[in-house]
Amino acid sequence: MKGAIVIEGHVQGLSNARALGELGIPVYVVDVAHCLAQHSKYCKKYFRCPAFNSPQFITFLIELAQREKLEGWFLIGSNDHIVENLSLHYEELKPYYTMCVPTKEQLYQIIDKERLMGIAEQCGTHIPATCNKEHIEKAQTMRYPLLIKGRMGLSFYKATHKKAIQADDYVALCREMEALKGQTEDIMIQELVPFDEANRVVSFTCFAIRGEIKAYWMGKKLREHPIQYGTATMAESILLPEIVEEAKPLVAALGYTGTCEIEFMYDNRDGVWKLIEINPRTWLWVGLAKECGVDYAKMMYRFVNGEEQEYPASYKVGVKWRNSITDFVYSMMAISKGRLTLGEYCRSFRGEKMHAIWSWKDLMPGIVFPFMLIYIARKRG
């Protein structure tokens, strides 16, 4: 059986390694540092690699395939740098591996948020009002607060260490834009969809072939860090048919093949769901989709290997996912700031749930996770 290489072995990499390993597929893990997935019982071998966005990473993968005789093995990446590098070097890697990544054109239609918003608007998917820094005067007619964010995302975050900067009026917007000069040119301006504890980002995820959605699953963040614009610490599976209708024309317009996560937020001022962004890969809590009956790692593996498969027509709703240590820490912070009550925190544990990392069938990642957090904190410190 042809195996799979899980690239980047944090929480979502661990989920993908388990999903494939449970099917009896040999799994190797590749990462730039120590990771959770290397400790999984499903990981047959672990390799340290160069930076995911470097040319050396592609050379490393080719040499790995030659040395380990991995012809036809499936590459599955877990972050934007990996997907971009694999997509850009698809032809070089094709003789050695199979992949389920967007083409270069599709990739830049997605990660260039200004282009993405234009495509969405043309196909009828609702978006927040948007402008760029060359037409900042348009922001005078937009509804405040506005967000200054990265057009391409990653370079903005590297320059500012923030996912977005909020401006409450036009004067503040001009002041923030002036402060960003010399730091980054990766800028776009967008209306902030009203956010509160009841109105959070909803993720529509799907597996599609040439723009046709074969299976989908939805979830929403219950808690996140930072408290706004953050990464999920607790999430829940949901089903909202109106979001399906927002997503379908966009996936078709992109002609997308593979798995993606499309984020929406409800704008109660206009009464519609609006597109926030697309991640052309699996996401942090992909394990929750599998728990609900939608196994994206399996779908991609079978697709690239030309295997016939049946796609799930439904999934379980109301199942919760929790990353316990980070959720506890950030929940206590939210309680101290009045953003969450102790009662709400306790009630959130009702119903069916799963742990992000701990599994009785695969114990070691859960055992090493607290020590891994110390390692990560020291590395970032």
pLDDT reading at 312 higher than 90: yes
Amino acid at position 282, single letter:
T
Q: Domain 4-99 is in which class? A: alpha beta
The average confidence (pLDDT) of the chain is: 93
Q: pLDDT over 70 for what percent of the chain?
A: 97
pLDDT of residue 228: 67
- Cβ-proximal residues to 343 (8 Å cutoff; 6+ apart), any chain: none
Q: How far apart are CA 123 and CA 304, in angstroms?
A: 29
pLDDT tens digits, residue range 131-169?
Answer: 988 888 899 999 999 999 888 866 787 788 888 899 999
| Domain extent listing, the chain | 4-99, 129-191, 202-350
Amino acid at position 329, single letter:
V
Q: pLDDT over 90 for what percent of the chain?
A: 78
pLDDT tens digits, residue range 15-69?
Answer: 999 999 999 999 999 999 999 999 999 999 999 999 999 999 999 999 999 999 9
- Band of pLDDT at residue 338, cut at 50, 70 and 90: confident
Give the number of other CB atoms < 10 A from CB of residue 276.
19
Which residue in 171, 278, 261 sits closest to 220, CA to CA? 261
- Band of pLDDT at residue 197, cut at 50, 70 and 90: low
More confident residue, 369 or 300: 300
Write out the two tokens for 351: 């119903």
pLDDT tens digits, residue range 211-248?
Answer: 999 999 999 999 988 766 678 999 999 999 999 999 99
Instruction: Calculate the alpha carbon distances from 346 to 92, 219, 222, 318, 358 in Å.
Output: 52, 20, 13, 16, 20
In CATH, which of 3.40.5, 2.60.40, 1.10.760, 3.30.1490 is domain 129-191? 3.30.1490
pLDDT tens digits, residue range 56-65?
Answer: 999 999 999 9
CATH superfamily of 202-350: ATP-grasp fold, B domain (3.30.470.20)
More confident residue, 381 or 30: 30
More confident residue, 1 or 154: 1
pLDDT of residue 349: 92
Check: CB of residue 17 under 8 Å from CB of residue 29. yes
- Band of pLDDT at residue 83, cut at 50, 70 and 90: very high
Q: Which residue shows structure tokens 């672990």? A: 46
pLDDT reading at 296 higher than 70: yes
pLDDT reading at 330 higher than 80: yes
Q: How far apart are CA 127 and CA 120, in angstroms?
A: 7
pLDDT tens digits, residue range 87-99?
Answer: 999 999 999 999 9
- Band of pLDDT at residue 185, cut at 50, 70 and 90: confident
